[in-house]
Structure 1
Amino acid sequence: MSGAEHDFGAFVAARATSLLRVAYLACGDETEAEDLLQTALERTYRKWDRIRHDSPEPYVRRVIVNAAISRARRRAILKIIPMHSPPDTPARTDDPDLQHVLREALRALPPRQRAVVVLRYWEDLSETQTAEVLGCSVGTVKSQASKAMAKLRSALGQDTVKGVIRNAHA
Structure 2
Amino acid sequence: MQGFEQFVRLRYTELLHTAYLLTGSVVAAEDLVQTCLLKIMPRFDRIADPMPYLRRAMVNQRTSWWRALRRELLAADPPERAGPDPARDLADRTALVAELARLPERMRAVLVLRYWEDLSEAETAEILGCSVGTPKKR
Q: Percent identity?
A: 46
Q: How does 1:52-71 map to 2 (within 5 A)?
A: 54-71=48-65
1:81 CA drift (Å) = 4.9
CA contact (8 A) 2:24 2:73 kept: no
Instruction: Tell which structure's C-alpha radius of gyration is larger.
Output: 1
> Deviation of residue 47 (structure 1)?
2.1
Q: Deviations over 1:105-145 (max 9, x none)?
A: 011111111110000001100000111111211122222x2
- Structure 2 match to 1:133: 127
Match of 1:28 among 11, 24, 30: 24
> Counterparts of 1:122 and 1:38 in 2: how far apart (Å)?
20
- TM-score for the superposition, normalised by structure 1: 0.72
The aligned amino acid for 1:39 is T
Structure 1 distance, partners of 2:17, 2:30, is 9
TM-score, length basis structure 2:
0.87
Per-residue displacement from partner, 1:138-163 (whole Å, max 9, x unpaired)?
122222x2xxxxxxxxxxxxxxxxxx
CA-atom RMSD, angstroms?
1.9
Matched, 1:109 2:103: yes
Unaligned runs of 5+ in 1: 146-170
**Hey, what's the Cα distance between the residues in 2 that align with 1:116 and 1:133?**
10
Confirm or deny that 1:87 pairs with 2:78. Answer: yes
The AA in structure 1 aligned to 2:111 is V
Q: Cα offset for 1:29?
A: 0.7
SS in 1 for 2:92: helix
The amino acid that maps onto 1:31 is V
Unaligned 5+ runs, structure 2: none
Within the alignment, does 1:75 sit opposite 2:74 as a pair? no
Specify the code of the residue in structure 2 equivalent to 1:23: A
Number of aligned residues:
134
Q: CA deviation at 1:104?
A: 0.6
Q: How far, CA to CA, are the matches of 1:49 and 1:26 in structure 2? A: 26
SS of the aligned residue for 1:24 comes to: helix
Deviations 1:34-93 (A, max 9, x none): 000001101111221321xx11110011111111111112222xxx45363522327532
